[in-house]
Structure 1
Amino acid sequence: MSFLTRIVGKSTSFSGIRLMSVYPQHYVEPIVQKDKQIEQKDELTKLHHIPIKAALNKSSDTVFHDDTKEKLLNYITKKGNSALARTLLSKAFELIKRTQTERLNLAKGDKDKVITNAEVLLKQAVENCRPLLQVTAIKRGGVTYQVPVPITTKRSYFLAMKWLLEAAREKERKVSLPEKLAWEILDAAHGQGRVVKRKDDLHRQCEANRAYAHYRWS
């Protein structure tokens, strides 16, 4: 057992010891993207004398960086094989691009409504899939009630991408993951598919149990 491990194990007796990777509470999160720095220029002037956390190694200010895509990439990754996950996601985006380009060429009406950018379609799919409420079990007087509660924005995005991946992995195994994921993203971006139905069913369940909402505060 190393010296650092022994110290961490005895952290209850030495309350003043803190791991070096943990920042104090008054440190603020860094803003890496230049477009966000321009948008929040007035806010950034207030942080001149406040210490800022170091940016992560994977952070980038390039125009090709997208937070939603990076999060989905992390959720696809298994056993640290991020190179394979990036290849699978790139193939899925390629299939989306090909499908939308074909629809654009076959469209007879307004072609401006056909979106060929896979990253924009991914954002639309996540927005259409993310829930606003969820039910949680709360026990009162020996009876367990399914109580609807709001969820945070961060968790709603996590659930949306998790459901997209689960729906793609539940399909038949003869079809590759990029193809299944591409069709799930396309269906969700157009407001249909199993993931959107799952979100609607959850909201319907919350609506049916709205009479128990007061148990959140009791």
Structure 2
Amino acid sequence: MIRVLGKQWNGVAKQLNDSCYRAFPLSVHHYSSTSSSKKAYTGSEILNYMGGLDNDKKELVHKLVNFRMKQGKKTRVRAIFHETLHRLARTDRDGVQVISDALDNVKPICEIAKVRKSGNVLDVPGVVAKDRQQTLAVRWILDAAFKRRTNHSSKLEECLFSEIMDAYRKRGAARKKREVLHGIASANRSYAHFRWW
């Protein structure tokens, strides 16, 4: 046995191990390869340590925070997003996965561009790129959450949570906007050959 300052080495190693568990709960408990049980994330754990998320989900979290930032007040938006994630974690689901599925339900496949052709302005449908799909979905969900907040009577976290859950269940204002856009594109599909971009 090796003695370290009058204590046995095994006791020191156990104390260090216990302190690591308390300091880094996600990195040691949840993301260890021996752990087989899945645990729902809480909002603070995701914002403080996103090591277990893949790059797409990290980018999604950053995009949601950055889209609503006004005048460089990122900490304020992070607090709103943090509270929204806590509300999503109470539903016994993975909060980031719920947001990702909600965005997949809102992403548009095609969009309309105005093209001037022989004196007429035509609505020409075109296919949307993947990055643009996600950007439009994030924008529509955040705008719908702000419109839902009437006269500042309800908190923005509650409105954002409600809009995300509506989009997750394939309903709500953002989903309706997608369906209207697809309807316009379908009605004007005869003008698709004017697409030059």
Global fold match (TM > 0.5): yes
Residue 134 in structure 1 maps to residue 123 in structure 2: no
User: Would you identify which runs of 4 or more consecutive aligned residues in structure 1 move more than 3 Å?
Assistant: none
Q: Return the alpha-carbon distance in structure 2 between the equivalents of residues 76 and 88 of structure 1.
A: 10
Amino acid at match of 1:213: A
- SS of structure 1 residue aligned to 2:184: helix
Residue 200 in structure 1 maps to residue 189 in structure 2: no
Q: Choose from 156, 162, 177 the match for 2:156.
A: 177
- SS of structure 1 residue aligned to 2:108: coil
Unpaired runs of at least 5, structure 1: 1-59, 102-115
2:71 maps to 79
Question: What are the superposed Cα offsets for residues 167-200 of structure 1, whole Å, 9 maximum, x if unpaired?
Answer: 0001212111110000100110111111111101
Does the 8 Å CA contact 2:115/2:123 hold for their aligned counterparts?
yes
- SS of structure 1 residue aligned to 2:153: coil
2:52 maps to 63
Amino acid at match of 2:181: L
1:49 maps to none
Q: TM-score, normalised by structure 2?
A: 0.69
Structure with a larger share of its residues in helix: 2
1:150-189 equivalences in 2 (<5 Å): 150-171=127-148, 172=150, 173-189=152-168
Amino acid at match of 1:205: I
Q: Choose from 83, 91, 96 the match for 1:119.
A: 96
- SS of structure 1 residue aligned to 2:62: helix
User: What is the aligned length?
Assistant: 144
1:11 maps to none
1:28-107 equivalences in 2 (<5 Å): 62-64=51-53, 66-98=58-90, 100-101=91-92
Q: TM-score, normalised by structure 1?
A: 0.63
Unpaired runs of at least 5, structure 2: 1-48
2:120 maps to 143
Give the root-mean-square deviation of aligned CA atoms.
Answer: 1.8
Residue 214 in structure 1 maps to residue 180 in structure 2: no
Report sequence identity in percent: 27
Question: What are the superposed Cα offsets for residues 126-164 of structure 1, whole Å, 9 maximum, x if unpaired?
Answer: 111111111111111111111101121111100100001
Q: Return the alpha-carbon distance in structure 1 between the equivalents of residues 59 and 141 of structure 2.
A: 17
